[in-house]
Structure 1
C-alpha cells in the first residue's frame, strides 16, 4: 500500500492534503510533514494544505487558500481522519483520486486507496513509514519535515507516555531528531500557556467533579470562558489536567461554543471512542472528541461515561 501511495504521488502535479477539523499536533504535523516530504523530493509539484487556519498551530504550518478549480485533476490525501464528516473542508470529493492515511480505528471506509494502521502511534509515524519505503528510491527527509513529524508523534503519544508508544515509535523519533531543528523551541511552542489559560486551568482543577465510578467531568459554559478570556479551542491544551488525579478512570470536558458544546474525552483505561462516535465524534480508544447540542445531551453523554467506568471495575 505504501508503494502504491508513492506511485500516485509521483503521478500527480497538484496534490491537496486534508486533515480533521479541530486539529491536534498529529493532524497538522502529518498533513504538513507529508507536504514537506513531497516538495523536498519533487520541488516542481504543487502541494496545498486544506482546512481552516488554527491559531494554536501556527508554529507548525499555515493552511493554503484553495479554489475549487485547484481540485481539477488533483490527487487528494486525507490524513488522520476516521470519518468523513470530520474532514476539514468537504471539497475533498472534488479531486480526481482520493487517498486515506489514518491510524484511528476505521469508522468510514473511503478513498480510492486506503491505508489504515491502528498499531501506529500516530499518522505522523505512518508518514515516517512511508518515507522509509520511499528512501529506497533515493527520497530525502528535510529538517522541516522532521520537525513537523516529530511534533505529531510527540503530540499523539503524550510525550511518549501513552501506551500507543512502541519500539517503532522510538525508532522513528530517533531518526527524526537527526534533523536540524530545536527540540526545546518546539516543546515550548507545544506546551507553553499564557496567563489567562493558566488561570483557566486553575479554575478547572478547583471545579472538577469526580463520580464514584471514576468518571470525572468539568462544564465550561460560555460565560466562564469569557470571564477567563479563553476560547474553546484553547482548552485543548489543558484537557489532560486530570491525568494525575487519583481514582479517575476517564474524564470529559464540556466546552460551550456558539451553537454547540465541544466534548473532549480522555481515559486511563476504559474505551471511549465508541461513546464519542455516538455523539457526532470519534477518535482513539483513550482520547476522543465529540459534539453535543444542549446541556441535557451533555448529561446523557456523562451518564454513559459513568456507566462505562462502572463496568470497567
Structure 2
C-alpha cells in the first residue's frame, strides 16, 4: 500500500494569536514539505485546489512543478482539481507539463470540490454542478487518450480534430476520482475503471465499506479487472513522538478549523470530546505516536482494502516545524511498520 500526504496549503489565522501566514510563505513552506516527503520515502504528495483566503493552493500544478525539480521519486498529484469549474484542455496541459518536468510522476485527482467559490469566480452556475463534472470528465479522458480530439458538449465550445500538447510521459496520464462519499461518484469511477479516493473526515471509516463494494461491483459489471482497481482514502491526522503530545498539539488547530467551516455549514460546535472520540482506533482522525497511527492505517486497510492512504497533516494552519516533524515520522516510522504488517498478511 502506498502512503502519502495531502494538503490544501492552509493559511488560516492562528487559533490563539489570530495571525495568518502569508500565502507566499505557505507556498514556500509547502515545497520544503514535499522535498522532505520525498527524502523520507513517502509515495505521493497531493495538493488540493481551493479559492479562499484561508488556503494558498489555487494552482496545484504550479506548486507541484516547482517541487518536481527538487524531488526524485515521489508522485505528485492534485487533491482535488475542481474539474467542474476548470477547462479540461488546460488541466491536461498543466499536468502533462508537470509530468514532463517530473519525468512521469504526475497525477490528476478530479472532483467536484467540497467548496463552491470557484463556480462564481469562473462564471459557472451551481445549477449545473453535476452536469459540468460529467461533461468535463468525459473531455479530460478523451484528451488523455488521443493526441487529436473531436468533442462536443453543452457547457464548452466544441473541439474539431485539434491537438492538445504537450503529451504526457505516462500514457495514459493517471486520473483519479475524488469523492466525499457520494454513491454516484463511486459508481461512476467503477464504471470507468478509474482509481478512487474517498475523503473520510468524520464518523467511522469502516462505514465506507459499502461504497467500496459499490465501486468494485460497478467496475466488474463494466468489464474491468477488479485486481487492477486502486482505492485510496484521505483523512486528517498528526504524528508526534507520543500520543499525548500529538493530541494536545493538534487539537487547537483542528478545533479552530472545524468550527470555522462548521459555522458556514451549520455543524455543531467541535470540542475536545468529539476530537478524542475521532482519534479512537475506529475513528477518522489519525492522531498519535507512530505505532498507534500505523495500527489505525493497518485496520483501515483491512476494512476497506486500500491501495493508498493520504495523511492530511496541514489542518488549521499547523506550524511548519510540526508539519515537517509529522511528515518525517510518517515516512521513517509509520510507513515501515505498515508495510511490514501488510507483508505478513
TMscore range, shorter length: under 0.3
Between 1 and 2, higher relative CO (CA 8 Å, sep ≥ 6) is seen in: 2
Structure 2 length-normalised TM: 0.25
TM-score of the superposed pair, with normalisation by structure 1: 0.27
